[in-house]
């Protein structure tokens, strides 16, 4: 005798089929073409391309700057979310709207604006004793700019739904403000902040438009991996471009997998 297992939501089989078809067409199929195109190179040529000193230097810069930018965004993103949720002040809605500006602003426009600000004769750069534009520092600033909204928007709902009676109970038991934040509030914020870090990091790795102007694109110094991929595409070296893209994809997948494992462990033990 066969028993049919009823689903809570009707049409599960049909909706799952459409979901898998949609994901396959938009994600799996394009990504699979990256690996298919690299097979025309052969292993020897593949390793020769992806281990060139210029390419390796771009890996280090792209992943290093993305990681630093994501860490900065976690710190200041949590602070901004805290201010927007916990305090009332004039212009709060304007500041809250400005947080989403990197989402709406074309990345090329953001890159030009940041370059204008931080160039040696720019509004901010002229007052600095060190160079920002056309350096790794400038790249990090650009990646921080485009990644900030991810952290703020992930942490903000958690703070809004946080039960402040827990803070009052902690205070009544003798804990100071720092102890209350570290032991009561931070464990609740950590999963959301970690998710925001993952999103900001992933967004920064593939960023091109806002970085290409402020980077200066000097080989071995300020050349990011997406720029190398674009350069090879302009030279009609599609196999070489997909080889570098495949390495970026694999490394990014492994990093995100590790972070998601940490996030799963955190949710299991602290939430």
Residue 11's pLDDT is 66
Q: What would the pLDDT profile of 23-58 be if each residue is shown by its tens digit? A: 888 888 888 888 887 877 888 888 998 999 999 999
pLDDT band, very low/low/confident/very high, at 6 (cuts 50, 70, 90): low
Mean pLDDT of the chain: 85
User: Per-residue pLDDT tens for 196-229?
Assistant: 998 899 889 988 888 988 988 888 889 999 988 9
Most confident listed range (117-131, 156-170, 250-264): 117-131
Percentage of residues of the chain with pLDDT beyond 90: 25
pLDDT in tens, 137-180: 999 999 999 999 999 999 999 888 877 777 777 777 777 777 77
Residue 1's pLDDT band, with cuts at 50, 70 and 90, is very low
| Cβ(133)–Cβ(126) below 8 Å | no
Model confidence at 13, in pLDDT bands (50, 70, 90)? confident
pLDDT at position 270 is 56
Residue 3: what pLDDT?
Answer: 47
């Amino acid at each position: 005798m066969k028993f049919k297992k009823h689903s809570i939501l009707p049409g599960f089989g049909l909706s799952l089929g459409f979901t898998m078809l949609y994901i396959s067409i938009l994600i799996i199929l394009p990504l699979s073409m990256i690996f298919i195109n690299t097979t025309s190179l052969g292993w020897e040529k593949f390793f020769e391309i992806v281990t060139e000193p210029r390419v390796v230097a771009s890996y280090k810069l792209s992943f290093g700057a993305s990681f630093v930018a994501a860490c900065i965004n976690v710190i200041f993103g949590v602070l901004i979310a805290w201010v927007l949720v916990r305090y009332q002040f004039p212009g709060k809605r304007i500041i809250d709207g400005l947080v989403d500006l990197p989402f709406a602003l074309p990345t090329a426009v953001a890159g030009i604006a940041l370059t204008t600000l931080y160039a040696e004769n720019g509004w901010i750069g002229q007052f600095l004793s060190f160079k920002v534009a056309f350096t790794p520092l400038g790249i990090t600033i650009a990646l921080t700019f485009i990644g900030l909204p991810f952290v703020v928007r992930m942490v903000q709902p958690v703070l809004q739904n946080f039960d402040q009676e827990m803070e009052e109970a902690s205070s009544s038991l003798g804990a100071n403000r720092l102890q209350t934040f570290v032991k009561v509030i931070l464990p609740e914020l950590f999963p959301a902040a970690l998710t925001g870090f993952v999103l900001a990091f992933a967004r920064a790795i593939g960023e091109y438009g806002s970085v290409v102007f402020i980077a200066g694109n000097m080989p071995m110094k300020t050349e990011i991996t997406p720029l190398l991929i674009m350069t090879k595409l302009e030279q009609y070296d599609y196999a070489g471009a997909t080889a570098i893209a495949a390495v970026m994809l694999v490394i990014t997948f492994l990093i995100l997998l590790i972070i998601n494992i940490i996030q799963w462990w955190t949710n299991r033990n602290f939430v």
